[in-house]
């Protein structure tokens, strides 16, 4: 298995606070890799380190065979790394249509027309401003925006956050579909059960350390561990 992305020994800080303590992980080519862990474990920081928004102070990030550790975020994205940030980060002052004009145009199958076909709801709301959208619509827009880069690697930070179960299921279905399209996916999620259902590989972060790495299926079988990861809000519903 070759890796679309690999990180070795990342140490990342916010100012003086030391968040990541030597995180290493790989996102396999054409696979879905889930990065799980409790709130504050360092999942978002890991993703921000990988995409160049909060560069690590130590360690190495390799994406598609290139050492991108010190690259600015826009160069990493231009390699074909789509990023769906935590909280969606829709541009609230722009219309849906304008939001889709922002990303770099990398050639490929995703165009504004084809993302509107994937998300018909966005086509209906083309002229609404970002701030007028519901959470689910914002999530779709954030994913659509990242797809317009025609990414080879898609990195999603908690896409199901704050969404109704039905919409969450829809989002997971689309993420799973990306895998069939040959896009490698790195997924950070609170929704442990659903993530493990669509993931091939899984990592568990705790307090800035990787405490589990291996197959998603094995982790899913370890009911005690899943329970402790999912915490009090253990989701009962699954993809079926």
Partner 1 sequence: MLELIFFNITNGLIVGAFYALMAIGLSLILNLSGVINFAHGGFLVIGGYLAYVLTPYIGFWGALIVSPFLTAIIGVAVEWLLIRRLYGRDPLYSLLLTFGLAFIIEDGTRQIWGANGLPVSVPPALMSALSSRFFFITGYRMFMVATVAIVVVLLFVLLRHTRVGVRIRAGTLDLETVAALGINVRALRSFNFAVGIFLAGLAGVLAGGQLGLEPTMGDGLLMPSFIAIIVGGVGSLTGTLVGGLLIGVAAGLTAVVFPSASDAVMYVIMAIVLLVRPRGLFGEEGMLT
Task: Calculate helix-pair angle for 165-180, 135-147, nearest 10 degrees.
Answer: 10
Nearest distance, CB of residue 102 and partner 1, angstroms: 5
Pick the closer one to partner 1 by CB: 64 or 91: 91
Q: Is 85 in the site for partner 1 (CB under 8 A)?
A: yes
Per-residue contact string for residues 90-109; x = within reach of partner 1 by CB under 8 A = -xxxx---xx-xxxx-x---
Residue 210 φ then ψ, to 5°: -80, 120
Of the candidates 162, 186, 189, 135, the one whose C-alpha atom is nearest the C-alpha of residue 25 is 186
The residue within the footprint of partner 1, chosen from 8, 11, 73, 123 (CB under 8 A), is 73
CA angle 177, 179, 185 (to 5 degrees): 115
- In the region spanning residues 127 to 186, those forming contacts with partner 1, defined by CB under 8 A, are 129, 131, 145-146, 149
Q: Is residue 5 within 8 Å of residue 183, measured between CB atoms?
A: no
Pick the closer one to partner 1 by CB: 101 or 234: 101
Distances (CA, A) of 161 to 124, 175, 181: 23, 15, 24
Q: Is 86 in the site for partner 1 (CB under 8 A)?
A: no
Residues at the site binding partner 1, with contacts judged by CB under 8 A: 51, 53, 72-74, 77-78, 83, 85, 89, 91-94, 98-99, 101-104, 106, 129, 131, 145-146, 149
């Amino acid at each position: 298995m070759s890796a679309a992305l690999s990180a070795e020994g990342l140490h990342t800080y916010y100012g003086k606070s030391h968040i990541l303590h030597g995180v290493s992980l790989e996102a396999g080519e054409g696979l879905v890799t889930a990065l799980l862990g409790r709130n504050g474990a360092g999942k978002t920081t890991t993703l921000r380190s990988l995409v160049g928004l909060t560069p690590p102070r130590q360690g190495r990030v390799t994406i598609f065979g290139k050492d991108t550790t010190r690259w600015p975020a826009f160069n990493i994205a231009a390699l074909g790394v789509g990023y769906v940030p935590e909280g969606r980060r829709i541009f609230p002052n722009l219309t849906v249509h304008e939001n889709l004009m922002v990303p770099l145009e990398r050639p490929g199958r995703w165009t504004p027309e084809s993302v509107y076909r994937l998300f018909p709801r966005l086509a209906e709301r083309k002229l609404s401003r970002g701030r007028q959208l519901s959470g689910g619509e914002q999530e779709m827009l954030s994913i659509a925006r990242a797809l317009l880069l025609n990414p080879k690697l898609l990195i999603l930070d908690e896409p199901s956050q704050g969404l109704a179960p039905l919409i969450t299921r829809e989002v997971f279905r689309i993420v799973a579909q990306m895998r069939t399209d040959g896009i490698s996916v790195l997924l950070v999620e609170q929704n442990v059960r659903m993530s493990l259902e669509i993931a091939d590989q899984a990592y568990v972060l705790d307090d800035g350390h990787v405490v589990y790495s291996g197959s998603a299926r094995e982790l899913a079988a370890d009911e005690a561990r899943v329970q402790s990861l999912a915490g009090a809000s253990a989701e009962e519903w699954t993809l079926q």
